[in-house]
Chain A
């Protein structure tokens, strides 16, 4: 078996648009998804994540490039001949069939013998904790239960890859959180590669081994949760994953691995440079709010002066809105270690915002 469960090689997808123009949904995407991995395609709606998933499933064919499943090029193979199964956003359970018939459908089509079929359907329902629901109709089940049936109906076939298209999108928040953990646990148990489409960054961070962040048909960055949060490679990724502050400026002095960036109004800071930059280059610096401090610290090199515009107390943290002397607004998040933490500054008060060089990251795109 090949090293990768799914591989996309320079895949493009173009559609005819409503006005006759060509819409490019996926632009030159290359991905390698390892066997047994929980992989998320993350991005806002229209970013090409669902189209990419549908090309793995075979519902769409790439205009250019190739989709491989365990090293086998899929070419024009129709969905019913691919070793993958899909959990649809709307579940797509067959309304005229019972739960048992729904779950058995794939096995029937594969002509699995009756006894084994019954055994596997039973096991699949047990796995999603809905044993004994065989005779009910989908309409008689709640949304969460239908979701689990959709999962059972796909997993019962023991696919090489399970594709999930926003499978938790229709559930309410509490149930969604439960299902996130449950899905992750299930994936570890069955050991099947999961490829998961979501627009919810928190969901992607919670569940996935690795994430591909997509925007405008392009896979901007692929990495694990920590990688993508801590080392975003572009402004979009930094912005889409978690909260962050951006400061626009020009590269001044350079030192190995770091640069001085001069922003408007005399605001100047030192930041880490993952990509090479040249003096005079226009760049953006991203700094996560929790990596900046208003309380005095000993080691932080950067100190930016400003005054507090608003304070939001949310229990675990206090958020300070600060307008810098250059006119830029930033948000600082202080964790509330003790009950007095919220008294670090008052509205209108002049403060110094401090942070380490490593906390600030220069982005060139």
Chain B
């Protein structure tokens, strides 16, 4: 039976997702498949990929090499993970009160405050990170300010080595991802009906209990969304660590980048990116299972 286009919902739906489907296929599915295939390959002396099936790259990443135990790469993985956890926790702790403040501000002022949160994003990402180099380096803004204060108090002052360091990378990450945590938390806080706070107060809950029994659980969807928006990019970053960590702070992202561009070892780089992908997927899945994707909590 021939259906007219108007009646054919399936065809309509298919056409609607077709552009995205094509992009995902060409830009994600095919490259990812190639990466998986490459990760099981080898590299010849000239840097060309030999497509075979070997787990050597993975073993090397996990520390088992021909010459014995080497935790260099495992250390990189764990460092990336640790940095992502630190960044996410700090960002949540900073973003939550701010989002709460904005959500409880008078309605007219909220948009202005959100606008202020978004202003930094208008500047190029690389420029913003270089700005932190200017602030944190030996002769930078922060050391000059501290030196000035020390001078006024007549305390001897040697400039701190803020940059390059893992701490500087952490500062850069926190700075970069703060808006991505503020916005989802704000959205879920703003959705909470003000009557619920009153109901809690009416049912003898003080401010502390109201927060932990009503506000916190109802804003969890925002925290979950913000965590994913922060954690996933941070664990795979290489630009921030490159700029603010100098060459000292090597993360999985840097490892992958260097294996492809400097060391000319695509199979090893591919294996590293697959490990990163698996790590991110596992943690995200665990996290969303544990805390819900948000909607379930809000919708009951």
Contact = CB atoms under 8 A, between A and B. Distances in A.
Chain A partners chain B: yes
Interface of A: 57-59, 78-81, 84-86, 88, 90, 92-96, 105-106, 109-110, 137-140, 153-154, 157
A90 B193 contact: yes
Given A92-B198, A94-B196, A106-B203, 13 more contacts: A59-B201, A79-B198, A79-B201, A92-B193, A92-B199, A94-B199, A94-B200, A96-B297, A96-B300, A137-B300, A139-B300, A140-B300, A157-B203
B247 interface: no
Given A95-B218, A110-B204, A153-B203, A105 B213 contact: yes
Contacts of B218: 95-96
Interface of B: 193, 195-196, 198-206, 209, 213-214, 217-218, 297-300
Given A92-B198, A94-B196, A106 B204 contact: yes
Contacts of A138: 300
B196 A92 contact: yes
B202 A80 contact: yes
Contacts of B200: 94, 105
A298 to B, nearest CB: 59
B209 A94 contact: no
Top 4 A-B pairs, shortest CB-CB distance: A137-B300, A106-B203, A92-B195, A92-B199
16 contacts: A58-B201, A59-B201, A78-B206, A80-B202, A85-B202, A86-B198, A86-B202, A92-B195, A93-B199, A94-B196, A94-B213, A95-B298, A96-B217, A96-B298, A105-B203, A139-B299
A79 B204 CA distance: 7
Nearest to A138: B300
B298 A79 contact: no
Contact of A94 (B201, B204, B214): B214
Contact of A80 (B193, B201, B214, B217): B201
A167 B196 CA distance: 15
A232 B232 CA distance: 70
Contacts of B213: 94, 105
A110 B193 CA distance: 24
Contacts of B203: 80, 85, 105-106, 109, 153-154, 157
Greatest chain A CB density within 10 A among B193, B198, B300 is at B300
B104 to A, nearest CB: 15
Contacts of A90: 193, 195
B111 to A, nearest CB: 16
A29 to B, nearest CB: 21
A277 B195 CA distance: 49
A109 B202 contact: no
A110 B217 CA distance: 21
A58 B206 CA distance: 13
A191 B217 CA distance: 36
Contacts of B204: 80-81, 106, 109-110, 157
B193 A109 contact: no
Contacts of B209: 109
Contacts of A59: 198, 201-202
Given A94-B214, A96-B297, A88 B199 contact: yes
A94 B203 CA distance: 12
A157 to B, nearest CB: 7
Contacts of A78: 201, 206
Contacts of B298: 95-96
Nearest to A59: B198
Nearest to B216: A96
A190 to B, nearest CB: 17
A145 B217 CA distance: 24
A63 to B, nearest CB: 20
Contacts of A86: 198-199, 202
A135 to B, nearest CB: 11
Contacts of B193: 90, 92
A102 to B, nearest CB: 9
A93 B218 CA distance: 12
A109 B205 contact: yes
